[in-house]
Amino acid sequence: MRAAERTADGENAPWGEVTPEAARKLLVAAVEAFAERGYHATTTRDIAGRAGMSPAALYIHYKTKEELLHRISRIGHDRALALLTAAADGEGTAAQRLAEAVHSFVRWHAEGHTTARVVQYELDALGPEHRAEIVELRRRSTAAVRRILVDGVRDGEFDVPDVPGTTLAVLSLCIDVARWFNAAGARTPDEVGELYADLVLRMVATQK
């Protein structure tokens, strides 16, 4: 119940691309079930039941539970990479691009926190090939943020003694929003995005 409500607020979860509607409903049901009980405690029968379908109807769209997880993970990681690449390729100073990367990445983790938890915490449950594919998307997301830091250092805008470590910390700070964000809490996704963009710019600012 709670997970269902939580998913409802992540309206911009990018499931619109999943067709037909039955396949989309099953994916949303899988996100809710995985977030609530964990991947290993969820059966395809649970997922079909949540979607109001029979197990046989599920198998028309997804052959295995892992195929559902892979689809969720792939859509989530594609979206994360698109957000971060758009920010890295955007107009403006390195500081403006870094603020945009953090703001949009945080907003995505806050608005879609139920989905983001599944995307970020169930990597170990993917099969080896799917896992390798997702690891490559993560590598490219990391590279987009690192590129902004490198540009900022080159242009004298940033002081970053440890670029790989700081890149990791920036991404990590944003990702953990999915763990603690509460739609009923005091801050909106945009407010968290704004606060975090400011904190990250402070991390990389040239020192007095």
Strand partners, 158: 205
Cα separation, 170 vs 150, whole angstroms? 14
Residues 7-26 touching its own copies, rule: CB under 8 A, are none
Give the residue with the Cβ less far from its own copies, 144 or 174: 174
Q: Which of these ranges, 11-19, 91-99, 148-156, 169-177, lies near its own copies under the rule CB under 8 A?
A: 169-177
1: contact with its own copies by CB under 8 A: no
Q: Given candidates 176, 182, 188, 190, which one binds its own copies under the rule CB under 8 A?
A: 176
Tell me which of 57, 179, 182, 190 binds its own copies, using CB under 8 A.
179
- If one asks whether residue 69 binds its own copies (CB under 8 A), the answer comes out as no
User: Virtual CA dihedral for 50, 55, 60, 62, nearest 10 degrees?
Assistant: 60
What 3 state SS string does 104-162 have? Answer: HHHHHHHHCHHHHHHHHHCHHHCCHHHHHHHHHHHHHHHHHHHHHHHHHHHCCCECCCC
Q: Among residues 100, 104, 99, which one has the least CA distance to residue 198?
A: 99
Does 187 engage in binding with its own copies (CB under 8 A)? yes
In the region spanning residues 40 to 59, those forming contacts with its own copies, defined by CB under 8 A, are 40-41
Instruction: Figure out which of the listed residues 5, 89, 136, 162 binds its own copies, where binding follows CB under 8 A.
Output: 162
Cα–Cα nearest to 8, from 113, 108, 99, 97: 113
Burial label, 78 (beta-carbon count in 10 A; 0-12, 13-18, 19+): middle
Binding piece for its own copies, criterion CB under 8 A, among 49-57, 95-103, 148-156, 176-184 = 176-184
* Contacting residues toward its own copies, per CB under 8 A: 37-41, 120-121, 161-162, 165-166, 168-169, 172-173, 175-177, 179-180, 187, 192, 195-196, 198-199, 202-208
